[in-house]
Chains A and B, each alone.
Chain A
Amino acid sequence: MNALPASLVVMGGSAGSLDALSVILPSLPDDFPLPVLIVVHLPPARESLLAEVLQRKCGLRVREAEDKDELCPGVVLVAPPDYHLLVEADARVSFCSDEPQLYSRPSIDVLFESAAEAFGPGVIGLLLSGANSDGARGLQAIVQRGGTALVQAPVDAHCPTMPRAALERCEQARAVPLSEIAQQLQELAHGR
Chain B
Amino acid sequence: MPHRTEDLELRLLLEAIFHRYHYDFRGYSLASLKRRVRQALEKFDCQSISQLQDRVLHDAKILPALLGVLTVQVSELFRDPPYFKAIRERVVPHLRTYPSLRVWVAGCSAGEELYSLAILFREEGLEERTIFYATDINPEALRRAQEGVYSLDRLQLFSENHRQSGGRRSLSEYYTAAYGHARFDPSLRARTVFSDHSLVTDEVFAEMQLISCRNVLIYFDRELQNRAIGLFHDSLARRGFLGLGAKESLRFSDHAGAFEEFDRLEKIYLKRGDR
Contacts and interface: CB of A to CB of B under 8 A. Distances in A.
A46 B72 contact: no
A84 B32 contact: yes
Interface in A107-129: 110, 113-114, 117-118
Given A46-B246, A68-B252, A96-B218, A118 B74 contact: no
Contacts of A46: 80, 82, 246
Interface string B187-220: 0000000000000000000000000000101110
Contact of A95 (B36, B221, B247, B252): B247
A82 B195 CA distance: 29
Contacts of B252: 68
B140 to A, nearest CB: 17
A177 to B, nearest CB: 33
Contacts, number: 63
**Size category, B interface:** 20 to 34
A67 B30 contact: no
Most chain B Cβ neighbours within 10 Å, of A86, A88, A95, A114: A95
A110 B3 CA distance: 17
A117 B29 contact: no
B249 A66 contact: yes
Contacts of A99: 74
A53 interface: no
Interface of A is mostly: loop
Contacts of B72: 96-98
Nearest to B214: A97
A91 to B, nearest CB: 12
A88 B29 contact: yes
Nearest to B82: A46
A96 B32 contact: yes
Interface string B240-252: 0000001111011
Most chain A Cβ neighbours within 10 Å, of B82, B219, B225: B219
Interface residues of A, number: 24
A81 B182 CA distance: 28
Nearest to A115: B31
B129 interface: no
Nearest to B32: A96
B34 interface: yes
Interface in A29-74: 46, 66-68
Nearest to B28: A94
B31 A66 contact: no
A118 B31 contact: yes
B31 A67 contact: no
A87 B30 CA distance: 9
Contact of A67 (B34, B80, B82, B248): B248
The 8 closest A-B pairs by CB, nearest first: A86-B31, A96-B32, A94-B29, A114-B31, A95-B218, A97-B74, A88-B31, A67-B218
23 contacts: A46-B82, A67-B218, A67-B247, A67-B249, A68-B221, A68-B222, A80-B246, A80-B247, A84-B32, A86-B32, A95-B247, A96-B29, A96-B32, A96-B218, A96-B219, A97-B218, A98-B32, A98-B36, A98-B72, A114-B31, A114-B32, A117-B31, A117-B34
Given A46-B80, A46-B246, A94-B32, 5 more contacts: A87-B31, A94-B218, A96-B219, A99-B74, A117-B31
